[in-house]
Amino acid sequence: MFSDLRTIARVLRNDLAPHTESESVVVADRAHGRLRRYGTPRQLDAAREAGAVPVLLVPPLAVPASCYDLAPGAAPANSVVEFLLSTGTIPYVVDFGDVGYADRRLGFEDYFDTFVPRAVADAVDDFRAGADAVDLMGWSLGGTISILTAAHRRDLPIRSVITVGTPLDYAAMPMYAAARKVLKPTGGRPLRAIARSVGVPAALVQLSYRATSWQRELRKPKYILDNIDDHDALIRMQVIDRFQDAMPGYPGRVTEQMLVNLVIGNEIAEGVLHLGDHTVDVRTLTAPVFTVGSHRDAIVSHAAAAHGRELLASSTHVEFHTVESSHLGLLTGPDAAAHTWPAIAAFRDGLNSH
């Protein structure tokens, strides 16, 4: 009884899950583009000697870069970084950092034509081995930015693009399809000025993400009691809560582009996006692509993720996998460890054999 009470107290104090992170060094410290390399010196030497192609992890906007390294060692199957290191791969993560009112003019083009390309060049230069390219991997909108980068900057040394839970057809997502129907007649004008001016504050992003998993929030007290003897389960719960509480906001220009170009125009589904003075045709992407979707994802529908098979037909190889899990569960957790991660490893092994 006293042990159970202590566990509940630690959960309520948010100190059951240890604050751990994989060993890393900062390779480049730029505004909205801090590049971090993970791994010990021994792991780096081994990867360089083997000529293993590194992975550059691209986080979604309004999501902390820590999404790829959630409490390594604290509970099974939390850290993508930890998994990649276990396969002999050196992961790099580009951290876009927090955004505020001063960053309101940042648009998608800043990410796919400046921040990520610089990170690709810095990672290749830092790795300095037989591998002269990287695999881009992005979760959710991080996958969108990865595809836009690879399609727009075909001069970059990008071997492949890996996306997890990435929306590629907004008309196939009921929530956005309904918004599109309401806003399309006016082009979203009533909201565009507001979106451009203030973006989406961090507090609203955090609330919105929790709202997509409201059943989890309501069931949390019962979940804690049901798993009082399963510390791994409670640690995973606490890690996710911390992750949600750390979400930053969206810049104003990005918010307007999401509204106009993605939701109303659904340009990503057609293949050609007009973002500022940039026109990007993702249908010209030729690098191999690996994508993952789920019927249980409350944010990105299975059809929206699977649209990549049709959209990216110019790629030398397009591979789509269905992993039945939540939006975050596609990336990290037991379902990801059992299905997503092995499929990604197999895809990358296939690239190595060619």
Whether the pLDDT of residue 201 is over 90: the answer is: no
Give the H/E segment covering residue 84. helix 80-86
- Burial readout 86-107 (b: 16 or more C-beta within 10 A, e: otherwise): ebebbbbbbbbeebeeebbebb
Paired strand residues for 318: 289
305 vs 211, residue with greater confidence: 305
Higher pLDDT, 13 or 351: 351
Domain that holds residue 14: 2-352
Radius of gyration of the chain (CA): 20
The more confidently predicted of residues 132 and 195 is 132
In terms of Cβ atoms closer than 10 Å to its own Cβ (0-12, 13-18, 19+), residue 242 is: middle
146-155, 170-179, 244-253, 270-279: which range is least confident on average? 244-253
Contact 278, 113 (CB under 8 A): yes
Mean pLDDT (whole number) for 267-294: 96
Angle among Cα 320, 117, 36 to the nearest 5 degrees reads 85
CATH code of 60's domain: 3.40.50.1820
User: Average per-residue pLDDT in the chain?
Assistant: 83
Predicted confidence band at 218 (pLDDT cuts at 50, 70, 90)? low
Bigger pLDDT: 237 or 34?
Answer: 34
Find the range with the poorest average confidence among 6-10, 257-261, 320-324, 336-340. Answer: 6-10
Of the candidates 305, 302, 290, the one whose C-alpha atom is nearest the C-alpha of residue 340 is 290
Q: Return d(Cα 138, Cα 30) in angstroms, integer.
A: 20
Instruction: Please give the residue that has the higher pLDDT: either 100 or 202.
Output: 100
Number of domains in the chain: 1
Q: With 80 as the cut, is the pLDDT of residue 14 above it?
A: no
- Tell me what the mean pLDDT of segment 16-33 comes to: 84
Whether the pLDDT of residue 90 is over 90: the answer is: yes
- In this structure, of 207-211, 262-266, 307-311, the range with the lowest mean pLDDT score is 207-211
Q: Under the phi-then-psi rule, with left for phi > 0, alpha for psi from -120 to 50, and beta for the rest, what region is 188?
A: left
**What per-residue confidence (pLDDT) applies to 205?**
46
DSSP states of 98-125 as a string? ---GGGTT--HHHIIIIIHHHHHHHHHH
Is the per-residue pLDDT at 65 higher than 90? Answer: no
Q: How many residues does the chain have?
A: 354
Distant-in-sequence, close-in-space partners of 258: CB < 8 Å, separation ≥ 6: 250
